[in-house]
Amino acid sequence: MTAPLYIAYHSVDHSIDYWQKHLSPLVPGIELVHADEARAQEAEVLLTWNPPEGMVAGLKNLKGVVSLAQGVDHVLNGKTFPSHLKFARLIDPYMSEAMAEWVMLTVLEYHRDVPQYRAAERRKDWIRLEPNIAADTTVAIMGLGAIGSVVATTLTKLKFNVIGWSRSEKSLQGVTAFHGDDGFDACLTQADIIVSILPLTTETENIYNSTTFSKMKPGAAFINSGRGKQVVEDDLIAAVDSGHLRGATLDVMRVEPLPTDHGFWDHPKINVWPHVSAQTHGATSGPQIAEAIADIRAGRDPRNSVNIARGY
C-alpha cells in the first residue's frame, strides 16, 4: 500500500475537506492534515493563508509554503519564515476576473450616482441628475500588478479614462501608467475615482492617510480592495465627513471581521464589504497549487515564487 503524501494545512477561509476534494484528483495520494497535528511534521509543503507565528518554522520537514491567496502579507508580516523555504503564491485568472467585476461594480455605482438615487428613493423624491460621461471620468488603479493590470484594462473597455500607478514602470494598452513617488501623487490629483489594489508592504502600510487624502481631487471617491492596514481609518472618515471625498467603498479592513461598533458600519457615505472582492476558488486554483506542490517537493522554484525581502 502506497504511503499517503501528507500536506500540512492551515486556513480559516475554507475547510480542510474543501481543499482535499479539489486537490485529490490532481495530486496522487495527497492527504491534507492540520498543521498542528503530529502527522504534519512529515509534510514537505504547507498550504496556508494566515499561519500563527511559529507554525511555519515549527514544521521541521518543510521545503516550502503555498499561499492560498494572491497576497502573501498574512504569511510573512511579523512572522518567522525560514530563508531556505520556497514560497509560492496564487496568480489565478479567476481571481483577477472576479476583482475586475467587483471594481466595475463599485466604480459604476459612483459613476451612475447610485448613492444619490438611493437616498432620493428613501425620500420618495423623483430626481434626475445630469449623467456622467465615462470618457470624462478618470479612474486611477493604484497597483498595476497581476490583478491590477487586468482591472485597469477591463475598465478601458467601458471607455473610462484609466490611469494607474506602480512602483516600477509599466506599459498597458489604453492606460496612462505612472510610477515612482511623483507618479503616485499625480494619480491622486487627477482621479475622480481612486481604486487601490496595492500589496501590503512596509512602504504601503498607512499609505492612505490625512496627507494622501488631501492630495486627492475634491469630490473624488476612494475604493480599497488591497489591504486594510494601508488605510488610516480615522483619517478616511475625516476626509469623507469634511466633504473632501464624496465617499468610500472598502472590501478590506484593519481588523477583520470588522467590529460591530466600528464607525464604518453606520456611516452613510462609507460602504463595507466583507473581503469578498476576489476569493480563492478551488476549481480554478487547484491545478496551480498542485503544480507548486510538485515543484517544491522536487526542489524547483515554483512558477509564482515570492520575493520574501520585497514582500510579494
Q: What is the DSSP string of 171-192?
A: -BTTEEEEEHHHHHHHHHHH-S
Indicate if the pLDDT at residue 76 is higher than 90: no
Two domains, one topology: 5-92+280-297 and 96-272: yes
Closest to 281 (Cα-Cα) out of 92, 146, 111: 92
CB atoms within 10 A of CB 13: 13
pLDDT in tens, 113-146: 999 999 999 999 999 999 999 999 999 999 999 8
Which residues are part of the catalytic machinery? 227, 275
For 96-272, CATH gives: 3.40.50.720
Tell me the three cell numbers of residue 144: 498595476
Residue range 25-32: mean pLDDT, rounded: 97
Task: Write down the pLDDT at residue 93.
Answer: 81
pLDDT in tens, 154-163: 999 999 999 9
pLDDT in tens, 237-274: 999 999 999 999 999 999 999 999 999 999 999 999 99
Task: Write down the pLDDT at residue 161.
Answer: 98
Task: Write down the pLDDT at residue 36.
Answer: 95
Cβ neighbours for 105, distance < 8 A, ≥ 6 positions apart: none
Domain ranges (residues) in the chain:
5-92+280-297, 96-272
List Cα–Cα distances, 22 to 19, 64, 283, in angstroms.
Answer: 5, 20, 6
Tell me the three cell numbers of residue 221: 471617491
Task: Write down the pLDDT at residue 1.
Answer: 56
Q: Which CATH class is domain 5-92+280-297?
A: alpha beta
The secondary structure of 246-312, three-state, reads EEEEECCCCCCCCCCCCCCCCCCCEEECCCCCCCCCHHHHHHHHHHHHHHHHCCCCCCCECCCCCCC
* Mean pLDDT for all residues in the chain: 95
Let me know if 79 is exposed, middle or buried by CB neighbors in 10 A (0-12, 13-18, 19+): middle
